[in-house]
Amino acid sequence: MTDGHSRWVSRPPGDPGGADDLGALVRRAGRGDEAAFDAVYEQIAPTVYGLVLRVLRDPAQAEEVAQEVMLEIWRTASRFDPARGSAQAWVTTIAHRRAVDRVRSAQAALRRDDQAAAGQPEATGDTVADVVEARLEGERVRRCLGSLTELQRESIVLAYYGGYSYREVSDLLGTALGTVKTRMRDGLIRLRDCLGVT
């Protein structure tokens, strides 16, 4: 893998360094400071691109969507509110939403309907082994995902990296809707505690 991983992910939890820097840079960018935005780009583009690519799988589309995401960050930087969460959470929420929007666009929907008709959840390639063994780079994230129950893990991985709605996840896993919702929540809580997210 490249060494372009966002710097903050490798920090131990609780280390305020990178996260605070990014928040301050976003706020400066929100005041029209293009140099600050360039620095924001440097810090966050690998995370944005990586996530979008993970969800879309197609590098050409991922590049397009990553560009949309970075522009949305520029346009709305003045609305980043640190009281509501870190700049990383703000950015990745935007990136994930954009990627999922693209997935749900007409063409993608067609393709995915075909897959659903074939009744093959495996067609997504989003098996946990795949993610845990090959794709995830963050040691800590990998370890923490490994500490979840299988259902928690599958639900989270399919929803977040697969871009599926919880209803689709429920279908893919053949598990009741209510159970999937609950597993997503308690799985994330467990992940949060394992990662030391405050």
Partner 1 sequence: MRPRRADPHTLAGPYALGALPPREQGRFERHLAACESCADEVRGLRETTARLAAATARQPPDRLRERVLAEVARTRQLPPEPAARTAAGPWHGRLRWARLTGRWLRAGRRPWFRPVAVALAAACLAVVAVSASVAVTASRQLNQEQASNHVLAAVLTAPDATMMSAPVRGGGTATVVMSHRMRTLAFSSAGLPAPPAGDAYELWLMGPDGDRPVGMLHPAHGMTSPMIATGLRAGDRVELTVEPAGGAGQPTTRPLLLLAL
- Stretch 80-99 residues interacting with partner 1 (CB under 8 A): 81, 84-86, 88-89, 91-93, 95-97
Span from 106-114, 116-124, 186-194 in contact with partner 1 (CB under 8 A): 186-194
Q: How far is the CB of 48 from partner 1 (least distance, A)?
A: 8
CB closer to partner 1, 111 vs 167: 167
- As measured in angstroms, the least distance from the Cβ of 136 to partner 1 is 5
Q: In this structure, what token pair is assigned to residue 7?
A: 């710097």
Own/partner contacts of 188-197, CB < 8 Å, gap of 24 or more, are 188/156, 190/144, 190/147, 190/148, 190/152, 191/144, 191/145, 191/148, 191/156, 194/140, 194/143, 194/144, 194/147, 195/13, 195/140, 195/141, 195/144, 196/12, 196/13, 196/14, 197/13
Using CB under 8 A, which of the segments 35-43, 105-113, 116-124 binds partner 1?
35-43
Residues in binding contact with partner 1, number by CB under 8 A? 85
Q: Does 24 bind partner 1 (CB under 8 A)?
A: no
Collapsing DSSP to helix, strand or coil, 197 comes out as coil
Residues 104-163 that bind partner 1 (CB under 8 A): 135-138, 140-142, 156, 159-161, 163
